[in-house]
Amino acid sequence: MNLTPVNLLFEDSRPGRRCMRTPGADLKTAVKGLPMEERRDAPPAWPETGELDLIRHFTRLSQKNYAISTNFYPLGSCTMKYNPVIHEAIAARPEWTGLHPLQDDASVQGALQLMYDLAQDLGTATGLPGVTLHPAAGAHGELTALMVLRGWLDAQGDDQRRTILIPDSAHGTNPASCTLAGFKVITVQSSARGLCQVEDLKKHLGPHVAGLMITNPNTIGLFEEDIAEICALIHATGGKVYMDGANFNAIMGVARPGDFGVDMMHLNLHKTMSTPHGGGGPGSGPICVTEELREFLPTPQVVETDGVYSLMTPAASIGRVRSFHGNFMVLLRAYSYVKRLGAEGIRRVAENAVINANYLRVLVRDHWRVPYDRHCMHEFVARPTKEMRDAGIHTLDVAKRLIELGYHPPTVYFPLVVNEAIMVEPTETESKETLDGFAAVMIQVAAEALAGAAFLHEAPRNMPVSRVDEAAAVKNPQLAFRIRE
């Protein structure tokens, strides 16, 4: 019999069920401070198992995950960079995990200082000094900023400006956030160079325009070269410019959006500052705004007076957008990232992200179609060539074949302005060897695609789930959980 401590079992009240417990513990008195009526009479019915079997079970489960700690993860726009383990060790310290957000300010000065300093650093990096750390994701930051814009418009007594202009290459969250905040959206066309088309933008300007939402670098991985002119045009018409800063990792430490005329932006700390993405969260999407808009930021804000940190509500605050102070544990990791790298290190992160993307683009461009084949920022978009498409190969086939070959596929079918897009973001944390290995696999898949479609159509052959009919799955989803016999 396995006698590891986890296997100390005793009989549950239900026949045939046995449970783990701490030997000798009296269930009614083991947890001090809990009212008697809330305490258990019987221990919980945990499944019986030994420690070794438990470890094997969870190790097997963890191996089913594809993770940045197992292989290359070139998911464009998602910035799947390495999250340093030391940040996890810092975040796990009891000095942080033991804090409660309702403690009084005097007993959490360190935590308040951390948030204050991080906000200062983000303000410095973006050139936009008003910062809230509250939003829980990039999309939440977008919504928060649009609410700030609404607050500002209301303060001007302006109830006419209810339209936001958005380039057609934008992430889907941009128009969704506008709609949620009560704005109408007008789409601005991209130019043949993949940039926001200034002439088309001009056609939509007028007293109804509250602002522009523009992603820079944009979702094609290109820097919006006309950004200063675009900002000036929006300002001249009386609107504000919101920059979707999801791709800030390509320019941080190099360029400051506040300097080229941006009024508000969000940062995805879970991308740019290497904090965990979570499964759709937990994330963090702080927004940074100009001095003029600062008074509309959510409450509370951390302020410092003579070395003492406290909380205050900005004069015209839009109110709360998140409980307490945002996702503090993510802020803690982002703070560790910023302080460990410093200004010089952050600049090198951006430079290396751009170098890695360009290196990979050049390695694969003779084998794949790269529609905007010029110097890119931190990511680039490729697609199957005409010969491949004529042979019946789609981007989905390429993605499935990459899974079979042990790689997480790049982002596919986004941005929508590129048909059959394959968007590759290597990030700065990958070595030349890894990039060479991925390029070799991409070149191999290109050759396979030209040799005959059937082989790619059947991929992946080596996964627990092979090719599924995705259209049928969307039309007729089976949402019930089923345990495999």
Q: Report the distance separating Cα 186 and Cα 167, nearest Å.
A: 8
Residue 285 within binding range of ligand PLP, rule CB under 6 A: yes
Report the run of H or E that residue 10 belongs to, with start and end: strand 9-11
Closer to ligand PLP at the Cβ: 141 or 238?
141
Report which of 250, 276, 274, 297 is spatially closest to residue 123, judged by C-alpha positions: 297
Site string for ligand PLP, 122-161 (x = CB under 6 A): ---------------xxx----------------------
Residue 321 within binding range of ligand PLP, rule CB under 6 A: no
In the bound complex, what is the minimum distance in angstroms from residue 148's beta carbon to ligand PLP?
A: 17
Closer to ligand PLP at the Cβ: 258 or 283?
283
179-201 burial: b if 16+ Cβ within 10 Å, else e: eebebebbebebeeebbbbeebb
Closer to ligand PLP at the Cβ: 77 or 327?
77
Site string for ligand PLP, 52-91 (x = CB under 6 A): -------------------------xx-------------
Residue type, 384: P
Q: Report the distance separating Cα 72 and Cα 409, nearest Å.
A: 9
Size of the site for ligand PLP (CB under 6 A): 14
Residue 357 within binding range of ligand PLP, rule CB under 6 A: no
Closer to ligand PLP at the Cβ: 78 or 302?
78
C-alpha dist (Å) from residue 228 to 232, 256, 262, 386, 478: 6, 12, 9, 37, 49
In the bound complex, what is the minimum distance in angstroms from residue 222's beta carbon to ligand PLP?
A: 13
Closer to ligand PLP at the Cβ: 238 or 426?
426
Asked whether the beta carbons of 298 and 318 are under 8 A apart, the reply is: yes
In the bound complex, what is the minimum distance in angstroms from residue 73's beta carbon to ligand PLP?
A: 14
In the bound complex, what is the minimum distance in angstroms from residue 220's beta carbon to ligand PLP?
A: 11
Residue type, 424: V
Residue 212 within binding range of ligand PLP, rule CB under 6 A: no
228-247 binders of ligand PLP (CB under 6 A): 244, 246
DSSP secondary structure string for all residues of 127-182: T--EEE---SSHHHHHHHHHHHHHHHHHHHT--S--EEEEETTS-THHHHHHHHTT
In the bound complex, what is the minimum distance in angstroms from residue 399's beta carbon to ligand PLP?
A: 17
Return the structure tokens found at 56: 């094997």
Residue 224 within binding range of ligand PLP, rule CB under 6 A: no
In the bound complex, what is the minimum distance in angstroms from residue 37's beta carbon to ligand PLP?
A: 43
Residue 272 within binding range of ligand PLP, rule CB under 6 A: no
Chain centre to alpha carbon of residue 464: 28
- Return the residue of 144, 169, 219, 317 that touches ligand PLP, per CB under 6 A: 219
In the bound complex, what is the minimum distance in angstroms from residue 377's beta carbon to ligand PLP?
A: 12
Closer to ligand PLP at the Cβ: 285 or 326?
285
Closer to ligand PLP at the Cβ: 283 or 410?
283
In the bound complex, what is the minimum distance in angstroms from residue 213's beta carbon to ligand PLP?
A: 9
Chain centre to alpha carbon of residue 411: 13
Helix/strand/coil (H/E/C) assignment for every residue in 109-138: HHHHHHHHHHHHHHHHHHCCCEEECCCCCH
In the bound complex, what is the minimum distance in angstroms from residue 140's beta carbon to ligand PLP?
A: 7
Report which of 62, 61, 66, 59 is spatially closest to residue 80, judged by C-alpha positions: 66
Asked whether the beta carbons of 297 and 133 are under 8 A apart, the reply is: no
Residue 173 within binding range of ligand PLP, rule CB under 6 A: yes
In the bound complex, what is the minimum distance in angstroms from residue 111's beta carbon to ligand PLP?
A: 23
Which residue's beta carbon is nearest to the bound ligand PLP?
138
Asked whether the beta carbons of 361 and 380 are under 8 A apart, the reply is: yes
Q: Report the distance separating Cα 92 and Cα 82, nearest Å.
A: 18
**Contact set with ligand PLP (CB under 6 A):** 77-78, 137-139, 171, 173, 215, 219, 244, 246, 268, 283, 285
